[in-house]
Structure 1
Amino acid sequence: MNKNNNIPNHLLNKFLEKIKNDDVIFFDLDGTIVETNYANYLSYKEAINTIYKKNQNIEYNPSERLTRNSLHKLLGKISPFEYNKIIQYKDNNYFKYTSFTNLNKIITDTLISLSKKNKTLLVSKCKQSRVLSTLEYYNLTNYFTKIFTHENIEISNNSNKFEIAIAELNIIPSTIILFENEETEIIQAISSGIPNHNIWRV
């Protein structure tokens, strides 16, 4: 599968044709259903500038997502207190930037279509409040049979979210179709038993 979002429709259609009614469909959120990098950047930028009480020169890089793991690289040596305050402030202010996200129409149309005949699940490491607010903003909540988030299955940043969802649902990994954009997550999906040919790389 092609990782480019500008993939020809016939390639996706060919992939979708092999999906059976008893297959379970997993969708990721960030970068898959919704492009959130710019909103995420704005949220972190506000948090950092608020904590340090001055305008930090933080440029937006569309090819590299700003995460909590990259804060030390971006800011240099920061104390645990500063680190935790930035994360807390970012989590609290993110919602005001939801309008700066963009819907992936191809994947969203796929979700809506598949939800009519298959079990469709959101499997995300994002916090539940942000997941639900984003889905509500785009009126997508009702298209999911079940929603897995950071809190309700206690996912940590290093956990394999697919193994946790598979175990809770007690389903056979070979019956899962996955839509995912992150290569590190795709590697974990394959290690959890989801066949590579069942994965659409967004």
Structure 2
Amino acid sequence: MLIAVNFDQPMEALVVLLSGHLDSWDVGQGAMDDGGGAAISWEALSLIRDLGLRPKRTLRTVLWSAEEPGGVGAAQYFQQHKGNISNFDLVMESDLGTFSPLGLQFTGSDKARAIMKEVMKLLAPINVTSLEKHGEGTDINMWMKAGVPGASLHTADQRYFWFHHSDGDTMTVQNPEEMNLCSAVWAVVAYVVADLEEMLPR
């Protein structure tokens, strides 16, 4: 597993985590499943840094390994960090393609959902304001079961299974403009939540 950390803050700092996984073990290149999710999670941090923004909490990107064989990388990371679980503000995962973003799926308390609805309003200029139920992701499920709010990216993924685990899952299926929009959504949500005065209510 590869981790990109906001290095000027300690590992035990309060954390908003963005993620995707790298495990092209089947056919194709794993570009849509889930290279795109990994790329936008990395790009979101790059965007925030390039803009000179410094949120109150640490932004951390994790590129999970071995999701297909049972979430091995995610399980290892959870075991290493569950002692600091109260420091994790929000865990985010993109694992259903990086097509045009539609909104977020979210799992958390009613109070946290109300805050996230306000956060999503900031994305009205690109028409990505939907906040749905059931934030999910193989690599973040353990965190959500332990009570940490979780979010997954919802995209116009009707074509996802055209490419998933096929020879067609190559970089040629990635649309740069759509990936840019996904990165923007990821960056806005992560930064705003990390810069709130208080953590999302459990």
| Fold shared by both chains (TM-score > 0.5) | no
**TM-score, normalising length: structure 1:** 0.30
Question: Which of the pair is proportionally richer in strand?
Answer: 2
**TM-score, normalising length: structure 2:** 0.30
Greater radius of gyration (CA): 1
